[in-house]
A and B are shown apart, each in its own frame.
Chain A
Amino acid sequence: MYQEVILDHYKHPHGRGLRDGDAEVHHVNPTCGDEITLRVKYEGTRIADVSYEGQGCSISQASASVLNDLLVGKDVTEAQRIQGTFLELMQSKGRIEPDDAMEEILEDAVAFAGVSKYPARVKCALLSWMAWKDATAQALGESEPAERKSA
């Protein structure tokens, strides 16, 4: 479960710290007390930044770091595809063995495949991703209400 790449992200998180953003959310995992405050900054539909501050286990903190790596610079549609793929992997209960196609989309995030076997920890891995989804809905919802309505 604790892949080297997860421990690396945990010990040296990428993009940590709160910076300017269009929307901010605070998510908690009530069963274990993991917390994250996350901001997203958009330039049109391109993700200019995802910044965050949080406390929690190595899985939740490393996952936020991986998210930052993967999503910053991407268009929201592409980011949603990545998020969807990560969600699918995490909900697979260990049944999905990531193939090359999945690895291409998820990069470092495939290291979390082992976590999906531990139901109690899946929420830790998904905490920042759910926060990002929520923040994105708020950020884009406010600036482009018509588009959100039709979605």
Chain B
Amino acid sequence: MESRTMHKWYWVWEFEKEDDWLNDMALNGWVLDSVGFCTYRFVRCEPGEYSVHTEMHPADEGYVDFMRETGAEYVGRMMMWMYFRKKTADGPFDLFSDIDSRISHLDKIGKMLSIVGGANLLIGLANTFSPARFGWINLLCATLLMYALGRIHGKKEALERERMLHE
């Protein structure tokens, strides 16, 4: 089967952009078939045959079974992100249908960023006082992760404002 591999980088707060790009690819006749680090492999499909979604979700066989039961295919996982696709002929495909679940998805992302960011901060501080002098790398990572956390938090606040009025 005809395939192509593309390399692309998305920051964690750009997951919706990534989703849009994967769906644009599907609209153009290329559906995601496997994922790797900054690597996406696509195979030929009919334009618009599939819709594709990604979600941060801890490893969970039960969830994959559940998604399959609803007609979605599990494409793969990269780090904490799972990728699913579903034939558009089999009905609409969304991962979230209300504000609460979108907020709890952002919470999961925020929690992961806080843990990894906090660990980098601690390692960075510890190494600053050690002879290795590589602590700045961890401090840089911690700064970036905290920035990401801020972006995710901003998205969450926007949804919370919306939730004041409707679900």
State yes or no: do A and B come from one complex.
no
